[in-house]
Each structure stands twice: as structure tokens, then as C-alpha cells.
Chains A and B, each alone.
Chain A
Amino acid sequence: MLQKLRENRSSQGTLLALPTTFWMVALLVLPLLLTTVISFGKRSPDGEVIYTFTLNNYIRLAGFDPNCPPADGTCFNPLYLQILGRSLSLAFNTTVLVILMAYPLAYFIARSHPRKRNTYLFLVLIPLWTNFVIRVYAWMMLLRKEGVINNLLGLLAGWIGYDFKPLEMLYTQGAVLVGMVYEFLPFMILPIFTSLEKIDNSLYEAAADLGANPIRTFRRVTLPLSLPGVVAGTILVFIPVMGTFIVSDILGGRQVILVGNLIQRQFLDARDPTFGSAASLILMIMTLVVTYFYTRKFGFGEEIVAA
């Protein structure tokens, strides 16, 4: 049998890849299938899953009450739709802001002297590898009512004799947006930098020789050539922002609820895994649809692996 295996390349390959295939099936494919099955199920009074086929969870997500008496149609409650919409718009705003902040910095690093480039990159990697939870905590310290920003503002106001009342910054949409931007900024800087770094200097020289001013050079040379980096960064930012629940949990409190928080609560507090599964499936479909159309329009950058 060993002899046979030695000659059969196909079984060798299968065998080599077997543990990985097993892991991917057992911990990625199977859980996704199970989530799908459960989302059509029902919750028993003690929080267990009853396997049936009902669309109730999805009807609830769409804002209708499955137990609503058919006579009056006043059971519509857009709460969950609002949560989905809020998550989408937050992910969109975060991505746009992150691109606007990451691009100049990536350009700055890519066009810096090779000897200094590593130091500048190093400065981006430190926040990237600092734990996610620590970074949210840092903003909590800054934004609290008695936090650093309010203290500084108070100090400034004291100097100019202005009566200052501490601003309520924590537990607002703005706090969550700032937190998200902070968390995901490095994920955009690196892929944009990678694609900018690849641009040959002679291209800039050629553009200048041919009489293009800096703005025109940027529009016709730099921007198109760095687009793959922006696309990769967008995927690396948009998808996680859609699903993150820590930032909104710590910086948004009970005021800003996103899909991530909704799902997390169904599994931990509300104990309704079936409804949570339905929400998580919708979240997955939303991100896949957005990613699909986005990559079909712009292509799937190889920079994603580089980052």
C-alpha cells in the first residue's frame, strides 16, 4: 500500500492537504451551515434550539411581529432595520474617513528616503499590533466626561475665562466613528503604501517632462496606479467594521447598537441563538454582496495578501 501511495501523486496531495481541509470543513464550513440551519429554527423557553423550519426570525428582522394579529397592521417596528442601516452607514463613513487619512500618510512614507522609510513604517506597525481592546480603552480615557480632552478644553477655557461645561463625547455616534477610524486606519495605510511603493520614479519624471503639473500627475499616474491598494484596504476595513462589537460596546454604550452588538447579545444575554444566527447570516450576506460588487468594479487587489 505504501508503494502505491509513493506513486500516486493525487493521493499524496490529498493526504498532505487533509488536516487543513478537515479544519476548514469542521470549523468554517460546518459552523456556517449550522448557523444557516439554526436561523430557520425556534427558541425553546429555556434558550435551547428547536430545529424546525420557520421564517419567523427573518420576519422579525424585517420589522414585523410574527405573532401580530392579522387584523391590524401596526406591528411594524423598524428597530432591526435601523440597526442594519446604522451599521452599513457607519462602515461606509469609517472607510471613507480612513482612506482620506491613510492616503497622505502612505504617500508620505512611500516617497520618503529609503533609509527613513522603515522608521515611518515602524510607527504605523506599533498601533496596528497593539491590542484592539487596548486601543478602544485609550479612546475611552480621552473621551470620558472627566477625560483628557475635556480636561484640556477646560484648562484652555480657564485661561481665556470662558465658562466651560464638559462635553458629552463618550456614548455617542461620533465616539464610535472615531474609535472605528482609529482601530482600522493602519489596515488602510499598509496596502496603499505597498501599491504606491511599486510605482517607478521614472513615471513621475516622465509625467513632469511631458509637462504635467503635480495635480495632473497625481490624477493620471499616482491615483490609478495606487487604486489596487485602496481596494484591498477597503476590503480589510469595511468587512471588520461591519461586524465589530467592542468599539460600539465600550464607546457607544447602550446608545449606539450595531449588528455586531445585536448578534452578541442574542448569544449571551437574550439567549436566542436562532435570532442571532439569522442576524449573523444577514450580516454575512450584506458584506459579501458589497464586497462582490465592489471587487467586480475595481478588481481584487493582490495587495490584500501583502498587508
Chain B
Amino acid sequence: MNPYRRSPAIILASSLVYLFLYAPIFVLILYSFNASRTNIIFAGFITNFEPRPTLQAGLVTASPCGPFHWFCELSHNREVMSAARNTLTIAVISTIVSTVIGTMAALALQRYEFKLKPFTQVSLYIPIVIPEIVMGIGILTLFSQLFGVLNEALKLQADSRLTLGLGTVIVSHIAFSIPFVTLIVQARLQGFDKSFEEAAMDLGANEWTTFRRVTFPMLLPGILSGCLLAFTLSLDDFVITFFTNGPGSTTLPIYLYGLLRRIITPQVNALSTVWIAIVFVAVLLIQQSQNRKV
């Protein structure tokens, strides 16, 4: 009997679900090449290359970038570029910090006994079982109350007052990333053969050398996948950022959301297409690297 046999009904149902998953994405990508500025109907591709964009009855008929007109516009859009910069800055910093301290906590929780251990362990599950918006408005309230008190107490002038901004977003992103890093590294530590470390100790390595030469290299895959997850969660985050960002710290998802509530040009689609392309390449690379390990 062929173990991989599936009934036609299953195959049909799965194809339909795949169609459901991909039809919207295809439409999104198609419309990023739309000649129509209003982006309501797909008016065909822009086929002509000319040094200056030409408009005819709401249609872009020629552009220096040809079909990629909206992508060129996007790269000249200052707001998009600054939002992209913010998104990356936030993701890089919060990933580094959360990976380091999350890994430390994983070691502590798995290898040590201490009073606060049960509390720390339980607190890591909070972000999983609580809707993100509850966390978001909680953090917003905390910052606004804290900053209110501090601004008053320190009599800070208008330009040095504490406000929401990049700093608050980064601190909040670290908060929701830590649990994922810690839980992943902890899981890795659980399935650990302690005899390697004992052997190193028997051969005269001290604790630090053992950690550096044995424990850490064995943990590295876990740390890396935690790191990767933290990075993508930060890039992707909407809700927490929505409540903790301030002027000048707009990220791409927040910027996009703002656009959806105003006028939509194919630029929005171009931005989405670029994002999807990046996701595509990133997931492909991750899957390839994981396969090689196995």
C-alpha cells in the first residue's frame, strides 16, 4: 500500500485552500504594475520607457522605469524610506538585546535553582495567552503615566520632554521577543546530552571554557532560530508598535495602515510586492539552511 496516497477529495480541498491563500497575493502583485493611478481597475501594464512619466486620462502611459514605474516612485518616497529605516533599526536593536538576555534567562531557568524561577517562567507565557492589544494599551498607559510624572517632576522643557518614539518602540519589542527566544533556547537545552559538558570538566576545563567550547556551540542553532524569530516578529509587528510609536518613529506596517485609510495608489501595492519578495527569499533561505542541517 502506498503510504502517501490521499483521496481526491483531500487533494481538491487542499488545492482550494491554496487558491484561497494565494489569489489575494497574486492580485496584489499584479496591481503593483497597474497603469491606472486610481488603482481601481487593472488598466494594463506600463510598457513604454521614456525619460519622463506621461499621464493620459489617469493612466501612466510611459515612465523611465517602464512597468516598474511604481517601484521607482516608491524609492523616491521619503516617508517610505524613513519608515523602512526605522523598521530596520528597531528590529536590529531589539533582536540583539532580546537574544542576549533571553538566552541568559534560558540558561538560568534550565540549569539553576533560584527563588524567582517559577515567577519568571510563568511570566514568559503572558504574551501568548493575552491578546496583543491588551499588552499594547497597558504599555502605552505605563509610558504616558510615567513620562507625565517625570516631565512634571524634572520640569523638562518642551524640546527635552520624554515622549513616545523609537526608544519606547524598541523597549516594547524587546519585551515581546524575549519569551520566544527564551522558550526556544530552553527547549534546546532540555534535549541536551550533559555528558559532553561533564567530559570537558573531567578533562580539566573550567566552567567558562566549558561554556565557550561545548555548551555555546551546541546551543547555537537554538539561539539562531530564536534570534531569527525575534527579528521577524519585530519587523512584522503592528499592534504593539501602533500604541508605542510617536512622531518620527513610524514603521512600515504603521505607514501602510495610514495609507489604507487615505488614497490608495499602486505605490501601496509596489511596497507590498517588495515586502512579499523579501519574505519569499528569506523563507527560502531559512528552509534551505535547515534542510542542510538535517
Interface residues of A (CB under 8 A from B): 9-17, 19-21, 23-32, 34-35, 38, 49, 101-102, 104-105, 107-109, 111-113, 118, 121-127, 129-142, 144, 146-148, 151, 182, 185-186, 201, 204-205, 208, 214, 235, 239-240, 242-246, 250, 260, 263-264, 267, 273, 276-277, 280-281, 283-284, 287-288, 291, 304-305
Contacts and interface: CB of A to CB of B under 8 A. Distances in A.
A23 B264 CA distance: 39
B227 interface: no
Rank and list the top 4 A-B pairs by shortest CB-CB distance, nearest first. A243-B131, A13-B112, A31-B138, A138-B24
B134 A108 contact: no
Nearest to B28: A138
Interface residues on B, range: 35 or more
6 contacts: A32-B126, A108-B11, A111-B5, A138-B272, A244-B131, A280-B134
A135 B3 CA distance: 36
A131 B277 CA distance: 12
Contacts of B139: 27, 31
Interface string B135-155: 101111110010000000000
B159 to A, nearest CB: 22
Contacts of A246: 238, 257
Interface in B102-147: 102, 104-105, 107-109, 111-117, 119-120, 123-124, 126-135, 137-142, 145
Contacts of B4: 111-113
B105 A20 contact: yes
A13 B268 contact: no
B25 interface: yes
B263 interface: no
Contact of A24 (B21, B120, B280, B282): B120
A304 B139 CA distance: 25
Given A111-B6, A127-B21, A182-B20, A20 B133 contact: no
A130 B101 contact: no
B283 A122 contact: yes
Nearest to B175: A27
B172 to A, nearest CB: 6
Indicate the member of B11, B112, B275 with the most A CB atoms within 10 Å: B112
B284 A23 contact: no
Given A118-B287, A246-B257, 12 more contacts: A10-B112, A17-B109, A19-B105, A28-B138, A31-B135, A105-B18, A108-B13, A131-B272, A138-B27, A205-B3, A243-B133, A260-B133
A125 B9 CA distance: 23
A182 B179 CA distance: 26
Given A10-B114, A20-B120, A27-B139, A49 B145 contact: yes
B133 to A, nearest CB: 4
B178 interface: yes
Contact of B232 (A129, A142, A201, A242): A129
Given A24-B123, A205-B1, A104 B13 contact: yes
